[in-house]
Structure 1
Amino acid sequence: MGGMHWFILIVVLLAGLAFYNWQNSQNQLSLLKKQGFTLAEDLKGQPNLLVDIQARELAVVTPKGFQRYHFDRVQSVELRFENGVQQPENYHLYILLDGASPLEIHYENEWLAQDQLNRLHAILP
């Protein structure tokens, strides 16, 4: 196999893996909704951050599962960024929770992360 064949094979494998993860995340979202979560805001990110305003809950959805957190557990939310070797900038929301490990929701750029931070601050008490 030539170099181009390997490249195409890798691209196809990565696309298949991305689709598999997307499908699993959608299954987790369906399960979350079946458990009574009413999606009011989708703050995107990696992992996906969702808001149920009626139940006053945040949910973090990954391909492997989800976690729910009541608004009362949120102690603070801030925008953080790190300069790394592999990525020049890594913007994320840092959500400090009472009685749980902090959540880090990653975004592809500062503008998007700041926009989602502003939306979250408007929602949280």
Structure 2
Amino acid sequence: MLSWPTRPLLGQTLADLIVERLARQAAGRSCIPVEVIARQIAEAQLSLVDSWVLGRPHMDLDTATDALTRTSRLALTARAVAAMAEAHRFHRQFERDLAAKFGEQQLAAMRLILEDIFAGASADGMAHVRPF
């Protein structure tokens, strides 16, 4: 359930639930869309659950539960939101720089290749890449 092809669906469903909860809390305005924040929280939670289920590294249930709670709360702090905003700005500039260097078509091709590699990633995060 935590691997491909169900993982993205599970992540999006969890993110949708988190969006609803964040909207109810309405803690303040952010330059990052609430959907992006929710997706970050969902992915962090799924990663912790995946590690706990696989036992790599070993975590007892109380530790995993505490980590889930702390990770979710941390993602909502002002400092974390500011860090995510800075990461988002860096990513946008990095993409602009790549487009300037290689062109929009090459950038689109690179993105497709990376998405394909990511889509083939196993539950432990290791991508299945076939040599040419």
TM-score (structure 2 length as normaliser): 0.29
Structure with more of its chain in strand, by fraction: 1
What TM-score, normalized by structure 1, do the two folds share? 0.30
- The structure richer in helix per residue is 2
